[in-house]
Amino acid sequence: MTESTGHVTWTYKGEELQTWYKVVGDLHSFPTPVIALHGGPGMPHIMETHDTLHTAHGIPVVIYDQVGCGRSTRLGGKPADFFAFELWFAELDALLAHLRVASRFALVGHSWGGALAAEYTAARQPAGLRALVVVGMPGDLQVWTRCARRLLTAGWPDKLAYLERCEEEGKLDDAEYRAVYGEYFQKHMISVTPWPKPFADGISAMLEDPTVPGHLMGPYKLKVSGTLRDWKIARNAPKIHVPTLLVSGINDQAQEETMRPWFNGIPKIKWVVFAHSCHVPFFEEPDRYFDIVANFVRDLQ
């Protein structure tokens, strides 16, 4: 397996930044290499198993740590207005140009990475983009938080008021609060135990540097208090004209009503629901997941 790593240097608001990337396979061996965008926000490592697209299907893959996390430039101390979509758009522009794939590529984005890929597609209208894959990203974050309350009420009916009080009082390290969310996480975020190493490493990285998730999402579980709090795809979905694959897990907090805005808004879209998955089907049902994604990309050639 051919593999290489490097950094691309780029500029945003007059500041020089660096982004770490890994290329798996020969980018010129297949018409449409895949660029994998991790979620979190600020959760590196989690997309590493997407090298399966190359090892099992011959599709070259680029995996990168978005600026603000992992092996890329960290952003501690930056003002709130620094953390705009345009920051990560500029990063992706620089990466595509550096790797010389801007004329032919596909985007696969998980969770926040799906929102980023979709907004990039709508804003930039990249001529070389052949396909978009969105995995587990709710189409409306306000609906997503309502789903969380409903699922918590169903699974832990006597705990919701306590969890709300902990968040109101800032007691996010409370032992019972953490215990309930540990159970919730296992039921609605990732069902695999023990956690796969890339997932565990990604969680550790977010906890070690919460700058990006703190600005975009905020520290809470029952509400989004960051800059993404009112985000919804409905505004820009009609601007996405490339063939799109929507992937969701039936047990994810991103329930059907949070995913439907994607399906209703994007003109050329296919939706696949994974019956035994939560938020990360590439860990929970990897064989089926990578087969479906690979076939979707390959069928567009």
Token look-up 């960051």 returns: 226
Q: Distance between the two ends of the chain, CA-based, in angstroms? A: 23
Say whether 174 is catalytic.
no
Say whether 225 is catalytic.
no
Can you tell me the distance from the alpha carbon of 240 to that of 190, in angstroms, rounded to the nearest whole number?
A: 29
Catalytic residue (one of 38, 50, 54, 111): 111
Catalytic residue (one of 51, 65, 140, 252): 252
- Residue 203's CB is within 10 A of a number of other CB atoms, namely 18
Catalytic residue (one of 38, 45, 188, 279): 279
Going by C-beta distance under 8 Å and a sequence separation of 6 or more, which residues neighbour residue 273?
Answer: 248, 249, 250, 256
- Give start and end residues of each alpha helix (H) in the chain: 52-55, 85-99, 112-124, 141-155, 160-168, 175-188, 197-208, 211-216, 256-265, 281-284, 286-299
Task: State phi, psi for 137 to the nearest 5 degrees.
Answer: -95, 120
Say whether 111 is catalytic.
yes
Can you tell me the distance from the alpha carbon of 6 to that of 135, in angstroms, rounded to the nearest whole number?
A: 26
Planar angle of CA 21, 26, 30, nearest 5 degrees: 115
By annotation, the residues acting in catalysis are: 111, 252, 279
